[in-house]
Amino acid sequence: MYMTIVFKVSDLLKEKMVAYYQDKRKEKTPPYALFQAMDADTMITLYESGKAMFQGKCADMDAKMWAEMERNLTGKRVNLSEAYDRNEKIKDTRRTLYGLTTIGSDEVGTGDFFGPIVVTACYVPKEQVPYLDQLGVRDSKTITDKKIIEIAPTLMKEVSHVTFILRNEEYNRYQSMGYNMNKIKAILHNKVLVAMKKKHPSYDRIVVDQFVFPRKYFEHISQSREKVKDIMFLTKAESVCASVAAASCISRYIFLKEMKSLGDHLGFPLLKGAGEDVDRLAAKIVTVYGEEKLPEIAKMNFKNADKYFDFL
Ligand code: MN
């Protein structure tokens, strides 16, 4: 796995590093760096600020060596497990995407026994990014349902979006055709992205919250008539890309509304997730409406579709 490790070094260690990598320096030095060097498979960049960056498959080995040296020289301990994390990379990506016009997509409902799958693509011109940031869409994963219900209607007014709702009967039909969840997701993402690209043919990047390896994604959509191919796949994309964040909020809002209307129809408020409370509720619904009701409101390949028998 490719790693980026960053930590701050003392002036003393800085000197040592400059000397050590003297012969391995690359010709070009990035802005604000003292040097950039390749040592075996690891790229080392030392910045004027004292920030040392190690990148590559074995970056941890090199980083560890210098962390130990630091401790011997100055007694300063470097917390490598902290330096490991992907924060630097995420910050870089966020900085880049902040200044770009993006189309982004995200889905909701794939972990819930009850209710549809909702996929949304949003188009966010770069001028709109600060506004969305202010609204707080960045942390869509940590936003409560209450807040989603508050901000989503505004979002839907202000942000160009395309949403597709895959209802349970259709989902179950896909499943019976042998489509797994990732294939269904890929097909739906492609569908909203195709539509969005037609609406807004000019943009800087298309970003998808990664749920499967890119090669697999394209395998999954190989039978789709039209395909969007210029995709940047990012994990946790909603935290770095405004259009993905907006898509995530809108999808969640529509999912909540769908759940509400299904629940109103049944006379039982539906529950999210796939836990035992969901099994119990499924048993209740089957008792009242019979088991033929479930495929209309639930994803029948989930374990819940067997487990509810225990609660009948
Ligand atoms: Mn997602």
Q: Does 129 have pLDDT greater than 70?
A: yes
Domain check: are 59 and 195 in the same one? Answer: no
Same domain, 60 and 180: no
> Which sign does the torsion angle of CA 95, 97, 100, 106 carry?
negative
Q: What percent of the chain has pLDDT above 90?
A: 81
57 vs 48 pLDDT, higher one: 48
Q: Is residue 149 part of a domain?
A: yes
The CATH number given to whatever domain includes residue 43 is 3.30.310.10
Measured distance between the N- and C-terminal CA atoms of the chain, rounded to whole angstroms: 48
| Nearby residues of 135 by Cβ (< 8 Å), 6 or more positions away | 151, 154, 155
Yes or no: say if 229 and 218 are a contact pair by the CB < 8 Å rule. yes
Q: How many residues does the chain have?
A: 312
Are 192 and 103 within one domain? yes
Residue 252 lies in a domain: yes
One domain for residues 29 and 121? no
pLDDT tens string 182-210: 999 999 999 999 999 999 999 999 999 99
The answer to the question of residue 273 being in a domain is: no
Q: Do 43 and 80 share a domain, yes or no?
A: yes
Separation CA 138–CA 242 (nearest Å): 7
- At 232, which CATH number? 3.30.420.10
Cα(90)–Cα(77) distance, integer angstroms: 25
- Whether 80 and 121 share a structural domain: no
Q: What are the start-end ranges of the E strands in the chain?
A: 3-8, 33-39, 42-47, 51-56, 102-108, 117-124, 160-166, 205-209, 231-234
CA separation (Å) from 184 to 37, 136, 150? 45, 29, 30
Same domain membership, residue 136 and residue 210: yes
Residue 282 CA from chain centroid, whole number: 30
Distance from the alpha carbon of residue 275 to the mean position of ligand 1, in angstroms: 20
Looking at residue 298, the DSSP 8-state letter turns out to be: B
- 62 Cα–ligand 1 center, Å: 34
Q: Separation of 4 CA from ligand 1 center, angstroms?
A: 24
Residue 44 lies in a domain: yes
| Same domain flag for 69 and 100 | no
DSSP 8-state symbol, 144: -
Distance (Å, rounded) from C-alpha 196 to C-alpha 243? 12
Query: What is the 106 CA–ligand 1 centroid distance (Å)?
Result: 5
Spacing, Cα 141 to ligand 1 middle (Å): 9
> Ligand 1 centre and the CA of 219: distance in Å?
19
Whether residues 253 and 235 share a domain: the answer is yes
Q: Is residue 288 very low, low, confident or very high in pLDDT (cuts 50, 70, 90)?
A: very high
98 contacts: CB under 8 Å, gap ≥ 6: 126, 129, 242
Same-domain pairing of 109 and 244: yes
CA of 19 to the centre of ligand 1 (A): 46
- Count of domains in the chain? 2
Report the candidate in 216, 214, 251, 248 with the shortest Cα–Cα distance to residue 232: 214
Distance from residue 176's CA to the centre of ligand 1 (Å) = 24
- Does some domain include residue 278? no
Q: Answer with the one of 217, 237, 262 that is the final residue of a domain.
A: 262
The three-class DSSP label of residue 44 is strand
User: Are 99 and 204 found together in one domain?
Assistant: yes
238 shares a domain with 158: yes
22 vs 20: CA distance, rounded Å: 6
C-alpha 182 – ligand 1 centre gap (Å): 12
- Give the Å distance between the CA of 1 and the centre of ligand 1: 22
Strands (E), 32-101: 33-39, 42-47, 51-56
pLDDT tier at 107, thresholds 50, 70, 90: very high
Quick one: pLDDT band at residue 87, thresholds 50, 70, 90?
low
Mean pLDDT over 59-69 rounds to 92
Domain presence at residue 206? yes
51 CA to middle of ligand 1, Å?
A: 32
- Domain end residue (candidates: 62, 84, 106): 84
* CA of residue 95 to ligand 1 center, whole Å: 20
Q: How far apart are CA 124 and CA 102, in angstroms?
A: 5
Question: Is 70 domain-assigned?
Answer: yes
Of 25, 60, 84, the last residue of a domain is 84
Is 136 contained in some domain?
yes
What is the spatial distance between Cα 237 and Cα 248, in angstroms, rounded to a whole number? Answer: 10
For 70, the domain range is 3-84
For residue 106, the SS3 value is: strand
Q: What pLDDT band is residue 90 in, cutting at 50, 70 and 90?
A: confident
CA distance 236 to 201: 25
The CA 56 to ligand 1 mean position distance, Å, reads 27
Q: Phi and psi dihedrals of 233, rounded to 5?
A: -90, 130
Q: What is the pTM of this model?
A: 0.74
Q: How much distance in Å is there from the Cα of 107 to the middle of ligand 1?
A: 6
